[in-house]
Amino acid sequence: MQGYYNRGLYQEATQYVDSLKDNRYVNGQVYYFFARIYSLNNEFDKSLFYLEKMVKLGTTKAAIERMYDLDKFRNSHLNIVFELNYDKWHQEYVNAIANLNLDSTYIKEIELIKNIANKTKYKRVETIDGDIVYELKDSIDILEVEKQDSLNFEKLTELILEKGFPTYKKIGGAAFDALNLIKYKYIAEVEKESFKWKKIKPFLLEELEKGRLKPFVYGQLKDRVRVYKEEPQIYLTSLNYTNDDKVENPEELNIRRKSIGLCPIEIEFWSLAKELPLSLQEIKFK
């Protein structure tokens, strides 16, 4: 569906919607995609059907208004039906979230860590002669940044030890913020298998085993470590960092991807309307 969408073949994209109706990973974001391709294909009744589903799963009116792919739907008479029913549908989401009994204290602590982390960003830059320098944000001292990062990760570790690994059922969308902090801001702690990471890693593995985290989450984390160390990726989940020598044992790449619930790499690149890297083009994948 994504591949046909990226090529402007919206009729072809809509043909695959029914094949996903029983897929447990279909969420509000996917329903949002359905609504958009049906709008582009002038099937506004079906757009409305999926707009209702996604609003009930948390997509906001503000997000919908920013999406240009829905311009045709907005100009249709069914947009009036959407406007009249949005508040009722959104209230169903609000009620559902209330019934989840999310840990509000945990959410606030994650948000606090995220906000502090956003204020202490710096960008790593490699010079022509190979020396590594750092471009600082707002002239923040590098040692102060590293000290604050360490304090933040220590606080995150304490939270996980006390309340468990952050999942959607525990803290809603704040769980994605926590995972992104680990994958991008505090990846050095994972890479060096720090004492703090060793304490919380079992909590992550437990959630994976129980099916409360998607199976490719740990694969993404492993690949981010490889990218951080400038080593070949295992599952090729970080496509923005791909070049001709950054995939480990490429002949077996698809076997590894399947083991964590990912599609073959050829389909991944085709869906993005991008060419496979040269190092993968001549390989017969297993």
77-110 pLDDT, tens per residue?
999 999 999 999 999 998 987 787 889 899 999 9
CB-based burial of residue 153 (10 Å sphere; 0-12 exposed, 13-18 middle, 19+ buried)?
Answer: buried
In whole angstroms, give the CA distance from residue 133 to residue 245.
24
Provide mean pLDDT across the span 26-42: 92
Answer whether residue 29 shows pLDDT above 90: no
Average model confidence (pLDDT) for the chain? 87
DSSP string, the chain: -HHHHHTT-HHHHHTTSGGGTT-TT--HHHHHHHHHHHHHTT-HHHHHHHHHHHHHTT--HHHHHT-GGGHHHHTSTHHHHHHHHHHHHHHHHHHHHHHTT--HHHHHHHHHHHHHHHHT-EEEEE-TTS-EEEEESTT--HHHHHHHHHHHHHHHHHHHHHH-S--HHHHTTHHHHHHHIIIIISHHHHHTT-HHHHHHHHHHHHHHHTTSS-THHHHHHHHHHHHHTT--BSS---GGG--TT-BSSGGGHHHHHHHTT---HHHHHHHTT-PPPHHHHT----
Per-residue pLDDT band at 280 (split at 50, 70, 90):
confident
Residue 89: the pLDDT is 96
* pLDDT per position as a tens digit, 198-227: 999 999 999 999 888 888 899 999 999 998
What predicted TM-score, i.e. pTM, was given to this entire model? 0.76
What is the share, in percent, of the chain residues with pLDDT greater than 70?
Answer: 89
pLDDT of residue 242: 56
